[in-house]
């Protein structure tokens, strides 16, 4: 016997509800880390789209190279994969009352800056599916004068030559691709999530000084990958981390775990006690996170490289930088590495797309290609699996994520620059108090444990992905609508 129309409709509603619940992503639980989001897709589509992805990657990392020459929970979003967004970002809150701003998390630069209201050339829309907000210093902020201590310290210990009693402290950053940001420094309240228990946070705030961007130039004004600004986690006293540490708010230690499987990951300020990581010393008196590279091996065989590969100064050496998507090697190192990677495929047709080496391959790349191992001072190693350094662009088309630094930028041509390509799916700890950095392979969709130095308590901090938050909210609304619909069927 055929069901009644009301029964049929109710059955459909129940089916839709079941599917919605099954397909809905699990809600991100509140924790004490920055929620990060990724900016470029891991896997591309047809070849034409793949070529555009590759071009976008080069433009993005070109900007990063330019910058290299120049217990808190942050919600993390984005994906560091070459074919995804190519960066991670977080949402911070500034002002009283606070407003939210999306900023790129960047270990290769120092200051926090956001676009100011009435900014010249600043984008008003973003292709990342986020709402952009321009900061208004007329709210609770105060302009930093050029004769104030912060400005004098950041100008080599003397006031700027054009400084007058009414002049604001100005900044200008020019990147490798010619893009730039110009503005002035302001002081305001930063609102952040302090870890207060297992998977729990409590609101806290501190007064910090940051850049108010009044003018953007070049690709920084592009709406395709637009954010509200950049949050630098460099070592200088002007960084947000240094300011919070100087105020006694946090230890000068932070960690990230960048998830290329589900996106987002973990970004936390504080002393990580689990998992334990082995460390290597940071090279002293360097602007960036330089480490001493001791050797590179492919499939267990050590490469014979020029001794200059292991030298360290402002133009040579090895830098760890989460703001760079790919990995860059000096010309001689790159050629030797590629020869070893493709040693058993000497007859393979390898094509050059946007300076990426690409090839056709069917089957598992982990079975067909070797593991690359970077060895550092202190017996710390960084293993890079084939599925990490080979990314898929189309059906059976793979490209190598290592690039020849000599072809990318003259300033970094002699550097080994290791970005998200090798850092993803690892917990990386930056201990600036002891001047060491370390890492371990880790599931970045899980959690870590951080010690609260003020109380001695150890708390669990979970992973986040603010990239998918809007999808969860949509599912919540849909489920509520369906439940309401079902209730109306039962009542009438």
> Annotated active-site positions, please?
106, 321
- DSSP β-ladder status, 112-120 and 200-217: parallel
Phi (first) and psi of residue 74, to 5 degrees: -105, 130
42: left (phi over 0), alpha (psi -120 to 50) or beta: alpha
CB atoms closer than 10 angstroms to residue 232: 27
Secondary element (H or E) of residue 479: helix 469-491
Distance CA 24, CA 486 (A): 19
CB atoms closer than 10 angstroms to residue 388: 23
3-class DSSP assignment, residue 74:
coil
Span between the terminal Cα atoms of the chain, in Å: 23
Name the token pair of 45. Answer: 């589509």
Q: How open is the CA angle 231-124-81, to the nearest 5 degrees?
A: 50
CB atoms closer than 10 angstroms to residue 331: 13
Nearest to 443 by CA among 264, 321, 273, 178: 264
Nearest to 334 by CA among 386, 400, 283: 400
- Complete DSSP assignment for 17-68: HHHHHHHSPPPPPP-SS-EEEEEE-SSB-SHHHHHHHHHHHHHHHHHHHHHH
- DSSP β-ladder status, 170-174 and 180-197: antiparallel
What are the helix (H) ranges across 69-153? 149-153
Sheet holding 390-392, edge to edge: 350-353, 356-360, 397-400, 390-392
Cβ partners under 8 Å of residue 131, min gap 6:
none
């Amino acid at each position: 016997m055929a069901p009644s129309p009301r029964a049929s409709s109710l059955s459909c509603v129940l089916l839709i509800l079941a599917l919605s619940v099954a397909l809905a992503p699990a809600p991100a639980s509140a924790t004490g880390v920055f929620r990060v989001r990724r900016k470029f897709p891991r896997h591309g589509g047809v070849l034409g789209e793949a070529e555009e992805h590759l071009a976008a990657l080069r433009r993005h990392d070109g900007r990063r190279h330019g910058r290299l020459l120049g217990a808190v929970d942050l919600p993390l979003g984005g994906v560091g994969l070459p074919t995804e967004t190519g960066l991670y970002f977080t949402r911070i809150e500034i002002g009283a009352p606070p407003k939210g701003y999306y900023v790129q998390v960047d270990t290769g630069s120092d200051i926090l800056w956001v676009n100011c209201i009435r900014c010249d050339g600043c984008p008003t829309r973003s292709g990342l599916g986020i709402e952009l907000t321009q900061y208004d210093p007329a709210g609770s902020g105060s302009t930093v004068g050029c004769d104030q201590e912060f400005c004098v310290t950041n100008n080599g210990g003397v006031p700027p030559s054009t400084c007058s009693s009414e002049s604001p402290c100005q900044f200008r950053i020019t990147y490798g691709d010619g893009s730039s940001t110009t503005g002035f420094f302001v002081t305001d309240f930063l609102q952040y999530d302090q870890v207060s228990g297992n998977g729990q946070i409590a609101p806290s705030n501190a007064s910090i000084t940051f850049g108010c961007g009044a003018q953007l130039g070049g690709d920084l004004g592009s709406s395709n990958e637009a954010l509200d600004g950049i949050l630098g986690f460099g070592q200088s006293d002007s960084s947000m981390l240094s300011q919070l540490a100087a105020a006694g708010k946090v230890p000068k230690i932070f960690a990230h775990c960048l998830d290329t499987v589900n996106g987002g990951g973990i970004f936390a300020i504080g002393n990580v006690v689990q998992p334990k990581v082995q460390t290597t010393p940071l090279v002293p008196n360097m602007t960036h996170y330089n480490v001493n590279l001791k050797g590179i091996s492919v499939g267990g065989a050590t490469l014979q490289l020029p001794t200059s590969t292991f030298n360290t100064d402002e133009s040579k050496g090895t830098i760890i930088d989460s703001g760079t998507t790919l990995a860059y090697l000096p010309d001689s190192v790159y050629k030797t590495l590629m020869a070893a990677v493709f040693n058993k495929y000497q007859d393979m047709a390898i094509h050059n797309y946007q300076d990426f080496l690409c090839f056709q391959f069917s089957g598992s790349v982990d079975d067909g290609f070797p593991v690359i191992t970077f060895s550092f001072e202190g017996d710390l190693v960084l293993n890079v699996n084939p599925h990490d350094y080979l990314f898929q662009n189309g059906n059976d088309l793979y490209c190598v994520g290592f690039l020849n630094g000599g072809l990318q930028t003259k300033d970094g041509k002699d550097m080994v620059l290791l970005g998200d390509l090798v850092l993803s799916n690892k917990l990386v700890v930056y201990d600036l108090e002891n001047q060491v950095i370390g890492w371990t392979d880790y599931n970045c969709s899980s959690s870590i444990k951080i010690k609260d130095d003020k109380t001695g308590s150890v708390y669990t901090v979970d992973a986040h992905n603010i990239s998918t938050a809007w999808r969860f909210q949509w599912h919540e609304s849909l489920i509520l609508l369906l439940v309401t619909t079902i209730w109306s069927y039962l009542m009438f």
